[in-house]
A and B are shown apart, each in its own frame.
Chain A
């Protein structure tokens, strides 16, 4: 008798907890979907608006779907309307940005890897101070160094050039990249370096043959980070370059803000999306490794 009642009680309890679980689950999904849509809403508006004609934009609301897939405004944003003066379009500035971001990401990542390697595997007197100062570099507000940097670029004769921007971004990327690589290499056993030294490998050989081949996760993290930072940078771009040499974010700003005629929202939206696409591509291609790289600690041999 005893057993039976308790069994019934158990089924009762089980049923109850099942219902509670289900309810909580639904609540969870509700909240998640709510937040996700809130997050995705601006993107939706951007895409929809970029596909409309000006006529449609004036008549409809933000949310109405366009009448068809009309890529005219994208073409205007990318290549302009074809008449001369005052026509700003993204194509040349897009390539400016590419020419700036590729070398800047490459050099800052490479130098960061090197410094990280030295700071962990070739300890020297005062190395923790060097690291401290590098860390300090992560916290410098970039507005504070604009004037001295402008002067420096002027003295070097590379102001208002893509090369100048590459130099600036490389220099200011190094604290971050060093931090990433140092923290990664700290978890690599130093015995690896000792073994390699006994095997007769030198400073560079150890770096290229032993450490770099196992650095893929952290390289991906660094590249994504640097790419996003440099591509999206507006401050340095607008301060140290103008006209022909400007990167895409500056051009985007000029395009959207300084149009003298009617505001063309569809073209503005298309331009903004174009300016954002490269970062998106980098994330999609390398995102899989991003989390893995951020969370991966020990490299067990």
Chain B
């Protein structure tokens, strides 16, 4: 069983062909890096895996289950964005549990998950702050936390480090690596930075 399998995937915007007959497989717990110059379709591929973009041809399977027409929220994935995309009006805690709340998770379960993830990422003392009161590295951590609480099958990272300065980037890179080793979740990681890959 492959955690993620992509079959003959094609995608075009109007007349421009972005992705053409992509085939791809990832085993459980692997770390896949998509490297390439800007505009070559890596992010599009990621968005397709997440279900945010429609497919013109081909299929996407998660755990051998065809999710090509499944809503993003039901795909059991989580995504970390370049701009972090934290909800500005909510504090860190609300940001992290927003997804669980939408999924009608029980209160106890939400608390439990929040506790686990926030202590794991060391963001416990930040829980009542607004995103605007956080530094870049902290925001990144919260964005990862928001992805973690969902306990997804696959993590999708969309150039998550490109908004950070060089030093923080190295630090966070190491952390993401550690995270992956610890959690053993499948990861798809998009970047245009060769050293990062």
Q: B-contacting residues of A (Cβ < 8 Å)?
A: 189, 191-192, 194-201, 205, 209-210, 213-214, 299-301
Contacts and interface: CB of A to CB of B under 8 A. Distances in A.
A210 B73 contact: no
Interface residues of B, number: 27
A199 B131 contact: no
A300 B77 CA distance: 25
Interface of B: 47, 50-52, 71-73, 77-79, 81-89, 98-99, 102-103, 131-132, 139, 146
7 tightest Cβ-Cβ pairs between the two chains A and B: A213-B89, A200-B73, A199-B99, A200-B102, A191-B85, A195-B85, A191-B81
B52 A201 contact: no
B84 A199 contact: no
Contact of A194 (B81, B87, B98, B132): B81
Contacts of A205: 102
A160 B83 CA distance: 52
Contact of A299 (B88, B98, B146): B88
Nearest to B86: A301
A196 B103 CA distance: 12
Name the residue among A205, A299, A301 with the largest chain B CB count within 10 angstroms: A301
A195 B98 CA distance: 10
Contacts of A191: 81-83, 85
Given A194-B79, A300-B132, A201 B102 contact: yes
Contacts of A210: 87, 89
Contact of A192 (B50, B85, B102): B85
B102 to A, nearest CB: 4
Given A189-B83, A191-B81, A205-B102, A198 B88 contact: no
B72 to A, nearest CB: 5
B73 A301 contact: no
A198 B47 CA distance: 11
B52 A197 contact: yes
Nearest to B131: A301
Contact of A197 (B73, B89, B103, B131): B73
Name the residue among A189, A198, A201, A299 with the largest chain B CB count within 10 angstroms: A198
Nearest to B134: A301
Contacts of A209: 87, 89, 98
Name the residue among A191, A197, A200, A300 with the largest chain B CB count within 10 angstroms: A200
A301 B84 contact: yes
A301 B99 contact: no
9 contacts: A192-B87, A194-B50, A196-B87, A197-B72, A198-B79, A205-B102, A209-B87, A209-B98, A301-B84
A214 B89 contact: yes
A301 B83 contact: yes
B85 A194 contact: yes
Contacts of A200: 72-73, 99, 102-103
Contacts of A195: 79, 81, 85, 87, 146
A200 B77 CA distance: 11
B35 to A, nearest CB: 21
B174 to A, nearest CB: 24
Contacts of B86: 301
Contacts of B89: 209-210, 213-214
A280 B102 CA distance: 43
B55 to A, nearest CB: 16
Given A189-B85, A199-B98, A301-B132, 16 more contacts: A189-B83, A191-B82, A191-B83, A191-B85, A192-B85, A192-B88, A194-B52, A194-B79, A198-B52, A198-B73, A205-B102, A213-B89, A301-B83, A301-B84, A301-B86, A301-B88
